[in-house]
């Protein structure tokens, strides 16, 4: 499959993407992951990105697109890819369209994960993350809690509530999403690629996406 996952913070994009990779061997790609990988491997593009990141600046779209182009041409993308949370803006979407045409790659569709605001707030305010940088396992104190003492089941490090997952921070993130990323829904609707899925359960959403792919 070749799809893009859109959705607000807390919509479950990462979980859905991970479950979909098990379906047909497609790889999950997020900009955060490919930037970190390029920096860690010390590629020429990674070194450029690191300069921006070390200064606390946003990595420019042109550099992100160059790194994305390199990533999409790696052998593991031959089975397909799931773009998780990318593009984030209309300019990125326009550049991605050009890049896919250049690489002769065609999207199956763009999956918009639609989740009510109260569900998102509940999901994110109850999320806990392992503080070990090598682990960063994600838990939910309601549906998938860490150990009773609050430590990670995988590495025994403390789990924490991230600063950007308090109710005030989430409200701000949702406002940013509505301003910058939500317009992509209209963009991909005009492209004839948009499919919207009510995403209250990641497993149900994955089943619905599979049905759409097979129809």
147 is a catalytic site residue: no
Q: What six digits make up the tokens of 68?
A: 């994305």
123 is a catalytic site residue: no
Sheet (strand 27-29) strand order: 27-29, 81-84, 2-6, 109-114, 194-198
The backbone torsions φ and ψ at residue 195, rounded to the nearest 5 degrees and listed phi first, read -130, 130
Residue from 13, 71, 123, 128 carrying the catalytic annotation: 13
Residue from 2, 48, 50, 88 carrying the catalytic annotation: 88
128 is a catalytic site residue: no
Residue from 71, 123, 127, 128 carrying the catalytic annotation: 127
211 is a catalytic site residue: no
Radius of gyration of the chain (CA): 18
Residue from 40, 102, 147, 162 carrying the catalytic annotation: 162
Closest CA to 2 of 99, 138, 94, 114: 99
71 is a catalytic site residue: no
Residue from 97, 173, 195, 210 carrying the catalytic annotation: 173
Task: Tell me if 45 sits within 8 A of 63, measured CB to CB.
Answer: yes
* Residues labelled as active-site residues: 13, 88, 127, 162, 173
């Amino acid at each position: 499959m070749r799809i893009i996952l859109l959705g607000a913070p807390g919509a479950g994009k990462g979980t859905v993407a991970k479950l979909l990779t098990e379906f047909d061997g497609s790889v999950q790609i997020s900009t955060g992951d490919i930037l970190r990988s390029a920096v860690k491997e010390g590629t020429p593009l990674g070194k450029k990105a690191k300069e921006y990141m070390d200064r606390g600046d946003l990595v420019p779209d042109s550099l992100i697109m160059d790194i994305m182009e390199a990533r999409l041409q790696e052998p593991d993308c031959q089975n397909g890819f799931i773009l998780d949370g990318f593009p984030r803006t209309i300019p990125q979407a326009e550049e991605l369209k050009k890049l896919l045409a250049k690489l002769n790659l065609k999207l199956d569709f763009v999956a918009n994960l639609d989740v009510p605001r109260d569900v998102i707030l509940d999901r994110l305010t109850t999320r806990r993350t392992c503080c070990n940088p090598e682990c960063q396992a994600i838990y939910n104190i309601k549906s998938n809690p860490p150990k009773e003492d609050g430590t990670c089941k995988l590495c025994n490090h403390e789990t924490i509530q991230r600063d950007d997952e308090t109710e005030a921070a989430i409200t701000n993130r949702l406002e940013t999403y509505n301003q910058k990323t939500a317009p992509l829904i209209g963009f991909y609707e005009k492209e004839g690629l948009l499919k919207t899925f009510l995403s209250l359960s990641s497993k149900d959403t994955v089943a619905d996406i599979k049905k759409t792919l097979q129809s």
